[in-house]
Amino acid sequence: MLLRLNKSLKLAELIPTADCSGPASTFVHSYHERFSPCLSLTMLQKTPFRCSEFSCRKKFTSDSWPHKHIKLHQPEHLQVARQKNLTIHSAPRHVDPAQRPEFIAKKDSVEDLDVFPYLEQHENIVDSESQPPPPPLPVTEIYSRASALLSNHIAEPWEREAHRCLETTIQNNPYFPFVMHEKYKNMQCGIKKKGMKMYYDNVLKEENTTLHFPSFKNGDLLQNVLASMSDDQALGEWKLHTLEDMKWNDNDQCPIKYWSRDIIESMGCLMRQPAYVKYLVYATQNCFNSNTPPKRLYTEIQTADW
């Protein structure tokens, strides 16, 4: 902003010299240089500022657009500015030309900057750095045994073999699951001409390849597939139960019927899922909400005493 207001002022004059004979070290914040384009006063008033963020479509027409922009996208910068007692200038302030003395670099020295109020000086950065550091973030302590990877112990051997077979087939034949390059090329031409649906309906069904995907038109079909999965991955079928002793009410004498799954089977299905192997924990752990002082973490799971 200093450079924009006075073109005659050079940045080298503001920097203290090596023998400390120059002016006191000043800290000029660079928010405006970083976030604002170099526009003149008239340009700022006329053209609205479009936010540089990709997801943000806002247009800031007022002079305080950098403040709004930083509040939206960089709120942590505001905290740093408050901690270091810095001020962020939104836009060049309007000063009447009659009240404003012009700064001439040749005549006026840099020590006389107090005369020019629109060239605001800031506090020394050394004083602001002496403030105590912010408190540490909350940390959850987990035992080392709990965080150990258990995939080697839990992963089924058939799963490892399947992965190994797939890798070897891809290495040997880059056109897997097709046998030859010509067949792969013919299939690609067939996809382009017939379309994907024709390809799945006609070609893959005839070839009996493994790339046949079932289409789930409703929830029942999906439930049937889940109930009849192979390799002990099934969730368990629904079972109908009747409570003949109980009735709906005096008017409705029908026995109460309800559907349920076997709890142990469904729990086993959840425990066997290879997708959760990385995250499952089989050891006790003490969870803390904060590190200093240590406080216990109370959630819907962590409720009992240790």
Partner 1 sequence: MMSDRTHLLNFAGNKKAWTVYMTIGNLSEKIRQIAPTQIVVIVAPLPILIKNRNFSQKRLEG
Site for partner 1, rule CB under 8 A: 235, 248-252, 256-261, 263, 266-267, 269-271, 275-276, 279-282, 299-301
Tell me whether residue 72 or residue 150 sits nearer to partner 1 (CB atom). 150
| Residues 175/188, Cβ–Cβ less than 8 Å | no
Q: Which is nearer to partner 1, 114 or 245 (CB)?
A: 245
User: CB-wise, 12 or 275, nearer to partner 1?
Assistant: 275
Q: Which is nearer to partner 1, 204 or 287 (CB)?
A: 287
Task: Give the shortest CB-38-to-partner 1 separation in angstroms.
Answer: 44
User: Could you give the angle at the alpha carbon of 48 between the alpha carbons of 43 and 54, nearest 5°?
Assistant: 125
Minimum CB–partner distance for residue 151 and partner 1 (Å): 15
Least Cβ distance, residue 159 to partner 1 (angstroms) = 19
Residues 6+ apart with CB under 8 A from 243: 255, 256, 257, 258
Q: How far is the CB of 150 from partner 1 (least distance, A)?
A: 11
> At closest approach, how far in Å is the CB of 269 from partner 1?
7
Q: Would you say 81 or 235 has its CB closer to partner 1?
A: 235
